[in-house]
Amino acid sequence: MNINQTRINYVDICFGLCWGDEGKGKIVSFLSKKGQYNFVCRWAGGNNAGHTIYLNGKKYKTHLIPSGVFFGIPSIIGPDCVINQKGFQEEINYLNENGFDTQLIKVSPKAHVITDSHIEEDNKKYFKTQGTTGKGIAPCYRDKYGRNGTRAESIDYFKKYLWDEKIYGNVLCEGAQGFWLDINYGNYPYVTSSTTLPYGACSLGFSPKIIRHIYGAAKIYDTRSGKDPLFPESLMESISLTNVGLKGEEYGTTTGRKRTINWLNLDKLINAIKLSGTTDIIISKVDILEELKEFHLIYNQKQNTYQSMSEMQIFIQTTINSLCPLVNKIYFSSNKEIVENFEF
């Protein structure tokens, strides 16, 4: 394949439309294995995120390293990411042990380094009060924007991984967390410390004008890891929602924490779609509600109930199509076959 190594043809972006844990890893995996991308890139966050990849019947997990490494694609940790040496090395070891080529992994010299003191501060100040992952993310970003941080380029350990800051051809960007955890749009201060919206991917070094598709991931119900008044503890008392969580195996990839469950908030979903410019939507885990015979969502701040998943899907699709003119396609999928039958 002849590639112009100075020109980007197009950029596709996959990100979460909700509060994280929407199945982005499976979507990126599906897109990556088609062999159409020259790079897969992360644009923000650190090892506070989690991606689950299924490959040849086996499940793999990463927290910072982009999913392209599983498919032999150069994988970039971008300039607006934050990186902890110990956590990064653990992922490198894990990938090496499982036979993946870690020479494909590159780190932006401008990415900031999470220190032990950042982690200690996070656990003392924010872990319990704001439900952070305790990975030192917030203190690291504070020092970055206070112009008092440490960049990867100044640490000897990272020198062999440093990226030359060049991307070309076809690029896939994978998001971390979700829209409603964004530092600006989330329920502040119960948010992450970076930009989760697709425009943040431009920090990798490309114009927004060459973005081709924005794939937005959601589930047929909402979940939230960590603390948030929008997901009060009273939701845990609902037998129906508890059953959804059990059936859907809703536990955080990074923390292992039990996620709080609520019915899909279509108001929030539509807002996220419109503000992000999402073009293609993948709504997964419809089989979970089908098995439980529970068909509910929140719209216009009221709970709607439907007689079947088909009726509920028609309402979701009709409503989104009427309010979100940039959307081209909406896919509904089961937990096991999240995107395999779809044509992107």
* CATH classification at residue 202: 3.40.440.10
In the prediction, which pLDDT does 248 show?
A: 94
pLDDT value at 340 more than 60: no
In the prediction, which pLDDT does 36 show?
A: 94
In the prediction, which pLDDT does 343 show?
A: 60
- The verdict on residue 1 lying in a domain is no
- The verdict on residue 314 lying in a domain is yes
What's the token pair of residue 14? 């996959």
Q: What is the pLDDT of residues 294-308, one digit of tens each?
A: 999 999 999 999 999
In the prediction, which pLDDT does 207 show?
A: 97
CA distance 188 to 196: 14
pLDDT averaged over the chain? 93
129 pLDDT band, cuts 50/70/90, is: confident
Q: What is the pLDDT of residues 151-207, one digit of tens each?
A: 999 999 999 999 999 999 999 999 999 999 999 999 999 999 999 999 999 999 999
- Note the pTM of the prediction, 2 decimals: 0.94
Which domain range does residue 144 map to?
8-332
- The residue behind tokens 């090395």 is 89
Q: What is the pLDDT of residues 202-231, one digit of tens each?
A: 999 999 999 999 999 999 999 999 889 999
- The verdict on residue 17 lying in a domain is yes
Q: Is the peptide bond before 189 cis (omega within 30 degrees of 0)?
A: yes
- The verdict on residue 129 lying in a domain is yes
Residue 115 CA: distances (Å) to CA of 141, 143, 222, 285: 11, 11, 33, 38
Q: Among the listed ranges 53-57, 83-87, 151-155, 159-163, which one has the minimum average pLDDT value? A: 53-57
254 pLDDT band, cuts 50/70/90, is: low
Which of 106, 51, 95, 93 minimizes the C-alpha distance to 70?
A: 95
- The verdict on residue 20 lying in a domain is yes
- The verdict on residue 341 lying in a domain is no
Q: What percent of the chain has pLDDT over 70?
A: 95
In the prediction, which pLDDT does 127 show?
A: 83
pLDDT value at 341 more than 70: no
- The verdict on residue 310 lying in a domain is yes
Provide the annotated active-site residues: 21, 51
- The verdict on residue 316 lying in a domain is yes
Number of helices (H), then strands (E), belonging to the chain: the values are 8, 16
DSSP letter at 68 equals G
How many domains in the chain?
Answer: 1
